[in-house]
Amino acid sequence: MTYTLLIPKPLFTEIEEQILSNGFSILTEGKFQNKLFFEKSIWQEFRNSWNNLKLDTYMNDNGKYRHRRYSAFQYNQISRNLLEKPGEPHYQQKNFNQLNGGINRYYEPLEYKTKANLVFVSIMDFCIKLFTELKPNRDWHLEVHQFRITTNSDFCGLPTPEGIHRDGVTYAFIMLAGKENVMGGESYIYDNQKQPIFNYILENPLDCAFLDDIKLRHSVSPITPLASDKEGYRDTLVITFTEL
């Protein structure tokens, strides 16, 4: 799939200023949703795509709590085209992911209807405009991850089983798609000496974080079920940008 991005529009300058000064920007209370334009039915179609993720079979902790889909793209700064890279594996060096790094990991791609959904296209468009303004005149490798972390009375779910870490990219966007019957899932931001500098909770759909992955590290606390008699889950969309 190839996208031709939309006409540029002014960006939320506070986000850029916060990333430049602090290395991160957190948007809650509908602030990110106000930047996007879509009908409720389109959001629900996008939201439903998390019900069709596949079990992550690369978990070296033997966990069965993570389901995902993954697609990679390349953005050309001159043409402003975003080209999908079918079959591209997900790879992280071992020093960035001690649990699962060091190998090529192959996942089912995002479904076509998900990639064509206006919510997804709007989010990609927003992130590309933001990060290319922060670092102009270069091409980018993008990786898009849909995650569902599950939990029940027998096990907790680990949103970041690798612990405090960098993703090994330039920038990261992390958005809550939704959650059900869970407590926990608190997000922490650290400096590169692993000293905590900020914590927050993505509470509502479209709450999100923009991170400078070179300056910072991050982690998320485990989730457990609020009501022990049924399963809980936490769904997120993660988009990473690596400058080429």
Confidence class for position 192, pLDDT limits 50, 70, 90: very high
- Model confidence pLDDT, tens digit, residues 11-25: 468 899 999 999 999
pTM of the predicted model as reported, rounded to 2 decimal places: 0.93
Report domain extents, the chain. Answer: 9-243
pLDDT on residue 9: 47
- Model confidence pLDDT, tens digit, residues 29-54: 888 877 776 778 899 999 999 999 99
Reduce the secondary structure of the chain to three states and give it as a string. Answer: CEEECCCCCCCCHHHHHHHHHHCEEEECCCCCHHHCCCCHHHHHHHHHHHHHCEECCCCCCCCCCEEEEEEEEEEECCCCEEEECCCCCECCCCCCCCCCCCCCECCCCCCHHHHCCHHHHHHHHHHHHHHHHHCCCCCEEEEEEEEEEEEECCECECCCCCCCECCCCCEEEEEEEEEECEEECEEEEEECCCCEEEEEECCCCCCEEEEECCCEEEEECCEEECCCCCCEEEEEEEEEEEEC
Architecture of the domain delimited by 9-243: Sandwich (2.60)
